[in-house]
Amino acid sequence: IGFFSFQDLQLFTVNPQNLLLLNQYKVDVTIVIYYIQLVYQQDINFSPLGLPSLGQCFAPGRVFTQLTSQESLTVLGNVNRVCTDLDPQIAAALASNFGEKIDAKVISALGNESASLSISQIKSLKPSDLVDSLNILSNVIGWRIGQAKAIVLSLLSSGFLQINSSASLLNLGSLIPGVPSTVFSSISGSDLVTVSRNPSVLFYILSAPQIVQLTFVRQIIYLNTNSLQIIENVPDNLATEIPGVYLLQFPNDSSTVIKLNRKKWKPQQVALFFDIIAANSETAELGGPNNLSSSVLQGFTCTTIRSLGKRQIKNLIKACRRKGTNKVPLVETQVR
């Protein structure tokens, strides 16, 4: 390539026989990318159908809008097979080519690129096609809340889907953020405790709107309103949704301190039990104040440390001054 001028190379790139060579020989991917760039500098409307499969991965997204739905199915088969990280613009262009004529066959071809479907396209799908495609849709990475909600609501309103157990929730996979908060009220607290131990389900719950997270936690709390049982049942990253009324009476034993320390809290929550967890004897169980989580140290106020000795207070202030993103800033209201 170094022996030819830029302009000379451009002229030869769109030659079908030269393009065929990219398929016949194992060419380094950096050369393929450069070659495709030259193709579209020579002809900005060159059809991606004339490119080798690997070359289609690096074509501009806009050129795929000229394809028919049938041609889009063919290209999807190629790019899903050979592209390691498909350009979202290509996926969006291919998805748009189907208009509102989407069915289970199209979903199968799109695979993970189904996340490029518009909400109007999703709403045009027959519920029966959604059911037939659920094993694909539930594994798609990258759903927006609106898309996931449109799919779930369509399935619920059609009667094809009922969400009333941990098993039915598990089947939804990446669509969980689209489940309405009211649906969680019909699932038992014990089922939610069980399903929250699944890392992927917990990830999707944490990606859901806050009202969903709140309902999820409230339903778990109703299972057993004992404070110790609540911190046992509610996942660490969802502890911010526990109402303060359930955080008032904790024993100062080491087991409780360890559980409280590993959870994520809001400052106003920690203030309710900071005097217990920050006591010298309790921080000793953790290996010293420096091992208190930044989340727990947010509860440091003049009120919450009244029962602590001066040495322990100094150690807590030092712990708050830890370096990096874990540093806990102390505002005036906390230290006066």
Average pLDDT on 122-134 reads 96
pLDDT tens profile 304-328? 677 677 787 787 778 878 777 677 7
% the chain with pLDDT above 70: 91
Structure token digits, residue 121: 């396209």
pLDDT tens sequence across 51-105: 988 999 999 999 999 999 999 999 999 999 999 889 999 999 999 999 999 999 9
Higher pLDDT, 269 or 282: 269
DSSP string across 175-192: GGGGS-HHHHTTS-HHHH
Mean pLDDT of all residues in 149-167 = 94
C-alpha to C-alpha distance for 10 and 69, rounded to whole angstroms: 30
Q: pLDDT band at residue 289, thresholds of 50, 70 and 90?
A: confident
Count CB neighbours of 301 within 10 A.
19
> pLDDT tens digits for 24-44?
667 788 888 988 898 898 889
pTM: 0.83
CB atoms within 10 A of CB 244: 12
